[in-house]
Every structure is written in C-alpha cells, then in structure tokens.
Amino acid sequence: MIINAIPREECRIGILCNGRLEEIYMERATAENHVGNIYKGVVTNVEPSIQAAFIDFGQGKNGFLHISDLHPQYFPDGHSHTENVGHKMPRRHRPPIQKCLRRGQEVIVQVTKEGIGTKGPTLSTYLSIPGRFLVMMPGMGKMGVSRRIEDDSSREKLRSVLAELELPEGMGFIARTAALDRDKEELQNDLSYLTRLWRAVENRTKNDAAPAELYRESDLVIRTIRDVFSDDIDRIIVDDPDVAQRARGFLSIFSPAAADLVTQFEGPEPIFHKYGIEAELEQLHSRRVPLGSGGSVVIEPTEALVAIDVNSGRFRTEDDAENTAFKINLEAADEIARQLRLRDLGGVIVCDFIDMRMESHRKEIERRLARNLRDHKERAKVLRMSEFGIIELTRQRQRASLTRSVYQDCRHCRGTGLVKTIESVALDVMRLIQLAVTRQHIQTIEVSVSPDVAYLLQNRKRRLLHELETNNRRVISIRPDPLFSLDQVEIRCTDARGRLVPHT
C-alpha cells in the first residue's frame, strides 16, 4: 500500500500487487465527500410518481431517498416490522411513500452515493457504521457474515464466534472479511467501539436541529486502511511523517501486530514516480488499453452507459482464429475488470468481445469476467454472452469516475469531442446575417466570433458582406473575441436609435 499525502491538497493511495497497480483511491482537500456520513434531514418534497422523497440534509443539493431505502420505522404502523441483516423487505410489500413521509418531517439518513452532474446524492435510512471487523446496522436484527466470505467452513466458524458476543439491543451487525481468524476479544472490542460511536450519534440526534451532521466518515487514509488492509498487504509506505504516524496509531488500536508495517518513504523523487504509479495513472485516462498479446481494449464512457470494445490488433493467426479470439478475450476479461475498478466506472456496461464459435469458450469468458468482478467490493451483475459476443453487466458506483474527478468538459466542444469547422461556423454566421438584414427595424448588426472565424469572414467573405450592407442599407461589423471558442457566435442587433432588437 503506497500512500502519497504530499502535497496536502490531495491524498492518493495505490495498492500494488507484484508491482502492478490494482486499486487507486484519491481525495482532494477541496472536494466534497459525503458518502458514509449520517445526517438529520428534513423532507422537502414527496413524489408518489417515482416513489421517492427529496431530503434537505444541509449540504447544498437535496438528497434522493427511494421507498426501497426507507426503514420500516418510518412506515405508518411504525416498529411492527422487524428486518434482519441481509433481509430487507421486498419493494412490493412496502406501503406507498406518501403514506410514510410528509413534507417537513425529520429523518435520519446516510449518503450512499455522491451526486453526479445535476443529480443530488442518494440517501438511505438503513444506516451502517463500519469498524475494522464489524459493520453496525442500527435498527436491524441479528448477526450476518459478509457475502464475500464464500467458504462454508469459514462462515460457520465465524458465526460460532459471533454467537458468543454480547449484542446491544436493536442493533444488527455484519462480520467483514477482516474478521476471519479473529478471536472473541478482538470482535467484542470492535463492537464496543461501534456502540460508543452510535451513542454519540444518538446524543446529537436529540440535541441538534435539522438539518445537521450527526456522523462523519474517517478521512481517506484511515478509511482505506480500515476497509482494504488485510494479511495480503506486507508494507504500508507513506511519504508524509504525520500521516504515517496517524496510520500507525490507527493500526496499533485495531491491529497492533500490523503497526510495524508502516514505514516512511525517504527517497528524493516523488513516491508515486518511484513505484511507477504515476505512469499508470496517466494511462487510465486513455481510451485504448493495450493487452499483452498485442490486442487492445477501447473504453468509451457515455451519458447512458460504458461501451467497451475488444480488438485483436496485430495478434492474428489465420490458421486458428478461434483460439486466437479466445486468448485475447481471456486477457480482456481480466483487464476489463481491472480497469473498471481503477477508473471507478459503474452503471450499465456493455462489453463487445471478439466473436467465438465454441460455446465452451463463450462460457469461460463469462465465468472469468464474473469471477474477476466478485473480488470487487462494488456489487456487479453479469449477464450471459449474446450470440454477437456481447456481455452486458451492471456495476455499483458510489462516486464520480476517476476521469470525472481529474478532468472537466472541454470549453470548446463542451464535452462532445467535436467542434464545427471554421468554414461551417462562417457559413452559419452568414445565414444569421442574411436573416437579420431582412428585418426592417434592424440598422446595425455586430457579430462576435473567434479570431479564426473572424479572419475568414473579413477576408474570404468581405465582398459578400459589403453587398449585404450596400443592398440593404445596414451596418455590419465582425468582432474577433480571443475568449470565444471556435464555434461560439454572438450576434447583437440595434435599431436606428441604438436600442437592442431581436434578429430572429
């Protein structure tokens, strides 16, 4: 685990496996991060048509709360429904949201997904507070074991230890993968820590007026060590002495034997350059990802979905096209899962693999991709490969993608990736002018455009502009503006008295 906390405006954490970047986490000091925070909010609007409510939780944009994320304590009959960990009530059995919430009502909510674009954050009244080994779920019943622990004997062994714990009333708990091979005392200490946190939240709930923050998630360093650290990590290298000390302090409480794994980086060059992470981060913003065999994967995020295309490139064997396609697709199934995690891409994802005839090959690609995605903490659902070699999947997303965190839309093309040619813009301007000169009340026409378009108009279109002025007795001026993008046009028309008038 490599932690880059210098400069302090941004913290970045990379997880390397055999020298290769497998996970990346980034957080800027100026960026708003609400996921995991708990708030006392106020219902501002209830929308029966979409079975959702909008909540003011004091952080700018209102949050979105769907009926499926509404705890039964808010149902009309209150606490008559009890839900156990991992067994939420199906949507069809829930009452309409308009019978559960009303405008002005106070609710305790947790942010589960950051707002993206114009959308506000996604909220839930199913609260969860993570510890090192357990996750506390207030208002739920019983103990559960993380679905990521798949071995039956390990699950049973962990359940037997959990059964010996002293659970507070009205609390549910989920044992995390880090709880494996931990003794009763370690789990009980974690449980007591979480219980103290929840008591503090309850006190703030009683005393603070809505909207109010009741619980704030830990910073990126502590959060990542808590959620990601495992016995597989053999070193934690940090370039900031203060951050290294905080990491040691956290581990000394929750995993004392691991505190000595934290070391401070002393090298002359930046830590991410030293371990080759910086170069890999630059590649994450490229559309094309090369594969070892010579093929490639092209990743195209759009507004509606993420499109991924697998290409064979120069790796072609005419004698055995089927095995060639199978080999490239296997590499692609591994790389696609890795790229989805590194780029933090989610939503609907469509993967177009190279066509294969053999059903056994097609099924192996499905299994390989699904198995790789199971290692992610973000939930994913993979559908069967279609006859055209396409696999559709959905992947959970909690915050904006890595690219959206680093880049913004181009001010020239406004995110489309395309701008009109200079000639096309000039023709558009000429049409606008030709329309404006037909309006009797217009006397003066002033057009502001980019310098390149202005140069073309003032030279190649000079004679035509002069004819329009002379024949229609109008004054036409072209004004270059260096701040204008290539296809940006602004037309200003005035009458004989200098008053602004519309040109359309």
What is the domain-level CATH number for residue 478? 3.40.1260.20
Domain containing 269 — which CATH number? Answer: 3.30.420
| Same domain flag for 260 and 186 | no
Domain containing 191 — which CATH number? Answer: 2.40.50.140
* CB crowding 224-259: b at 16 or more within 10 Å, else e: bbbbbbeeeeeebbbbbeebbebbbebbeebbeebb
User: Which of 376, 405, 434 finishes a domain?
Assistant: 405
Inside any domain, residue 504: no
| Residue 354 confidence (pLDDT) | 92
Mean pLDDT score, 303-328: 82
Tokens coding 233? 């990590």
| Same domain flag for 200 and 314 | no
| Same domain flag for 246 and 207 | no
| Same domain flag for 464 and 349 | no
Inside any domain, residue 414: no
pTM of the model: 0.74
Predicted confidence band of residue 79 (pLDDT cuts 50, 70, 90)? low
Mean pLDDT score, 159-182: 85
Inside any domain, residue 361: yes
| Same domain flag for 53 and 179 | yes
Q: Tell me how far apart the alpha carbons of residues 341 and 427 are, in angstroms, rounded to a whole number.
A: 46
Question: What percentage of the chain has pLDDT greater than the value 70?
Answer: 96
| Same domain flag for 400 and 447 | no
| Same domain flag for 206 and 347 | no
Coil, helix or strand for 179? helix
Residue written as token pair 């200003």: 492
Contacts of 424 (CB under 8 A, 6+ apart): 487
**Most confident region among 24-33, 285-294, 360-369 by mean pLDDT:** 360-369
Inside any domain, residue 137: yes
| Same domain flag for 398 and 434 | no
Predicted confidence band of residue 297 (pLDDT cuts 50, 70, 90)? very high
Kindly calculate the radius of gyration of the chain based on its CA atoms and give it in whole angstroms. 29
Inside any domain, residue 502: no
Inside any domain, residue 363: yes
Can you give the residue range of the structural domain that contains 333?
A: 286-405
Residue 4 scores a pLDDT above 90: yes
| Same domain flag for 177 and 296 | no
Tens-digit pLDDT profile for residues 437-477? 999 899 999 999 999 999 999 999 999 999 999 999 999 99
Residue 434 scores a pLDDT above 70: yes
Inside any domain, residue 183: yes
| Same domain flag for 164 and 57 | yes
| Residue 87 confidence (pLDDT) | 72
Predicted confidence band of residue 78 (pLDDT cuts 50, 70, 90)? low
Tokens coding 98? 């308009």
- Maximum pairwise Cα distance, the chain: 96
Question: What percentage of the chain has pLDDT greater than the value 90?
Answer: 50
DSSP conformational letter for 386: P
Tens-digit pLDDT profile for residues 179-223? 888 888 888 888 988 999 999 999 999 999 989 999 998 888 998
Mean pLDDT score, 372-380: 84
Domain tally for the chain?
Answer: 4
Inside any domain, residue 410: no
Tens-digit pLDDT profile for residues 138-158? 888 778 888 878 788 888 888
| Same domain flag for 270 and 308 | no
User: Which of 371, 405, 439 finishes a domain?
Assistant: 405
Contacts of 239 (CB under 8 A, 6+ apart): 3, 4, 5, 6, 264, 265, 270, 271
User: Which of 215, 239, 261 finishes a domain?
Assistant: 215
| Same domain flag for 8 and 20 | yes
Domain containing 355 — which CATH number? Answer: 3.40.630
